[in-house]
A and B are shown apart, each in its own frame.
Chain A
Amino acid sequence: MIQNPYHNKTLQWLFYLVVFALLGAVPLISDDAFLLNQLAIYGVYGMLAVSISLCWGSGGILNMGQGIAFGLGAYCMAMTMQMQTQAEGTIPPFMLNNGLDALPWIWQPFQDTTTGIILALLIPTAFYLIFGGVMFTARVSGPFFAIMTLATLSAFATIFVDLQPYTNGVNGISPPGSLNLGETEIDPYSSGAYWFVFALLVACTVAAKLINQSRFGLIVRALKDDPERVRFLGYNVAIYETLVYALSGLIAAIAGCCFAVLTQYVSPAQFEVGFSISIVIWVALGGRNSLIWAMFGAFTVQGAQSYVGDQFLSTWILILGFSFILVVRFLPGGFAGLVETILGRAAKPEMGADTANLEFSDAKEVAK
């Protein structure tokens, strides 16, 4: 039997190598600072797509509230950056405007950069562990989990707007300086920042792929297909679900940190329901089962969105909505699924019908 090249692991890694080599070479071609910053932000979106592909594509956990980890990470990072620019004993100006005269305890740990960055990764991951643990041990799954993540996200948005003295409400935090790591300053408009985000994107994607290929990933994919059966085989399904959910949260938290570094701004918009769902849209269009295609989905949708510009934005959203409906209805594997089928047919034309069947059974499994 001839194998579909799409499933060949060596070829997959080779594809990763080519894609990342091309992405990494961008600053060598262009030194337009604005463009590099824009592309680095796409890298952040790519990380978010990878994180959703990990928990939704592999684990079947539809997370419509990835903005929780993203926003928490971004806020923690912005707080760290804010404190870096703050002279000893002074507090951020917006706190003075809101009637605070001393640094609140919740801000204290962010005075130290290392602690701040650790917290930026730890707080979202810990929250995901607790929230996921509570939900998955109660065997809340599928659409209900999606609804709960959505509700949690809007709860976070409300509370961050409400706690104005600590978060500056809807205005958000905009640290006046860029992040300093030791002696190095990460200027968001530079090739250095691009490579910084790029390295993290590669690390996250490769880590996620290794997780998918590991024994852990095998069980995670098994429980997507039939959690009951995995449970009867003696595995603690809730632990696996919680872990894969928390790992995807960690990746989103890293993305959040990068976002704060690149834009030097964070606001409750990061907790917006629409943003979190658009991550799911990127992944669904690109292909939920493939990390790298999910990432392409993010690049394509966001790239097209900024390309069409404000004038055609409304038509664009209409097109996006329709194509999303069409992909969900006819192409559950996204473009990755399409590529998989085409490669399968190219490898062995008479096997085409078989592959199509496989495709169909995949679609049914995804649904469960």
Chain B
Amino acid sequence: MDISSIAFANSLILGLSIAGIFFVAALGLTIIYGTAGVINMAHGEFIMLGAYTVYALQTFAGIPYFLCIPVAFVVVGAIGFAIEKSLIRYLYDRPLDTLLATWGVSLVLIQGTRLIFGSDPKYVEIPQFLSSNLEVGGLSLGVFRIFIIFMALVLAAGVWFIFYKTDFGIKIRAVTQNREIAASFGINSGQVYSFTFALGAGLAGVAGALFGALNIVLPTMGMGYVVEAFLTVVTGGGALLGSAIASLAIGELQSIFALITNSTFAKFLIFVLIVVFLRFRPQGLISASGKRR
């Protein structure tokens, strides 16, 4: 194996890791958008809250990292549930306004966090074995990045199970296809929306628990993920599989472009590709509801 093919293989593996990050970031958004059609601009802040939850649990209660992840899911899920019940549910038939209202929510969440925790960066402790590097024949990748890929698969499997193997999943899919008819069959569509929103928020919380360990924890950290997450969801079309394929494609392409040019320009190229793609397929790869936007 010569150097360039090693570099290429390395960038493919790095791409897989980027794809894992994108997918984890986009998962909650996919569920909320795919089901209720809500563009949740506060998604990045849910991620941020997840990271702060882990930080707070570790600092003030000394809870080990692996236990923090499910707690972050519950805490952020509960916050999401409260926001849905108090604000989002009044705006389901005004999609542009949900976008704006959730932006207001994100402003409040960022500022609230800043007032409570301050603007200085916080750090999340992870177990020793996760912070090492794995090297196999010239290929190397941080163990934590492998853990994120693993978590992406676990979360995808979990969401798939909820959607396709449980009663609640049947209700979600029924409401996604046609809210009125589902409601006339006795499904409490408002309740389904609330719990779906909470589930999506909770998944963002898990993403935050992971990203908080990957990077520093800041009140504004959510902004960095939200645009990428949106692009993944829009390209994927709002379905679970669509987001998985989209994040894999974006991650790998970005990593390969970064090898050829540089990482900033790679992001730019990816963006141009997405615009061109959406020009010819505005509904995304796999459209959840089959409706044209």
Give the interface of A toward B (CB within 8 A): 60, 62, 131, 134-135, 137-144, 146-148, 150-152, 154-155, 158-159, 161-162, 273-274, 277, 280-281, 284, 314, 317-318, 320-322, 324-325, 328-329, 332, 363-364, 366-367
Contacts and interface: CB of A to CB of B under 8 A. Distances in A.
Contacts of A151: 227, 230-231, 271, 274
A150 B227 contact: yes
B122 interface: no
Nearest to A155: B271
Nearest to B271: A155
The listed residue with most A CB atoms (<10 A of its CB), out of B95, B97, B105, B112, is B97
Interface in B82-128: 87, 90-91, 93-101, 103-105, 107-108, 111-112, 114-115
A231 to B, nearest CB: 13
B267 A328 contact: no
B105 A321 contact: yes
Nearest to B88: A329
Nearest to A150: B227
Contact of B264 (A148, A159, A317, A318): A159
A155 B268 contact: yes
10 contacts: A142-B95, A144-B234, A148-B234, A159-B265, A317-B111, A318-B108, A321-B108, A328-B100, A366-B96, A367-B97
Given A161-B264, A317-B111, A139 B293 contact: yes
A144 B108 contact: no
B234 A142 contact: no
A367 B95 contact: yes
Contacts of A277: 103
A159 B231 contact: no
B220 to A, nearest CB: 9
A148 B87 contact: no
Given A143-B95, A367-B94, 20 more contacts: A62-B99, A138-B279, A140-B293, A141-B293, A143-B98, A146-B39, A147-B39, A151-B231, A151-B271, A158-B268, A159-B265, A162-B268, A273-B227, A277-B103, A321-B104, A321-B111, A328-B101, A328-B104, A332-B97, A363-B94
A315 B227 CA distance: 26
Contact of A140 (B95, B99, B278): B278
Residue of A139, A284, A329, A366 with highest tally of chain B CB at under 10 A: A329
A252 to B, nearest CB: 19
A325 B264 contact: no
Given A144-B293, A162-B264, A280-B100, A367 B108 contact: no
A143 B238 CA distance: 13
A140 B237 CA distance: 13
Contact of A134 (B101, B115, B267, B275): B275
A105 to B, nearest CB: 19
A138 B282 contact: yes
B165 interface: no
B234 A147 contact: yes
A142 B230 contact: no
Contact of B99 (A143, A154, A364): A143
Contacts of A62: 96, 99-100
Contacts of A137: 279
B275 A142 contact: no
B101 A158 contact: no
Given A317-B111, A367-B94, A325 B104 contact: yes
A366 B293 contact: no
Contacts of A141: 293
Contacts of B94: 332, 363-364, 366-367
A133 to B, nearest CB: 10
Interface string B203-246: 00000000000000000000100010011001000000000000
A329 B83 CA distance: 13
Contact of A321 (B95, B107, B268, B271): B107
Given A158-B267, A280-B100, A142 B293 contact: yes
A274 B293 CA distance: 26
A15 B104 CA distance: 31
B280 interface: yes
A305 B231 CA distance: 32
Contacts of A364: 93-94
Which of B108, B114, B223, B280 has its CB near the most chain A CB atoms (within 10 A)? B108
Which of A137, A148, A325 has the most B CB atoms < 10 Å from its CB? A325
Nearest first, the 3 closest Cβ-Cβ pairs linking A and B are A367-B94, A321-B107, A325-B104
Contacts of A322: 104, 108
A324 B100 contact: yes
A134 B279 CA distance: 6
B87 A329 contact: yes
Given A138-B279, A139-B282, A367 B104 contact: no
A328 B97 contact: yes
A314 B230 contact: no
B228 to A, nearest CB: 9
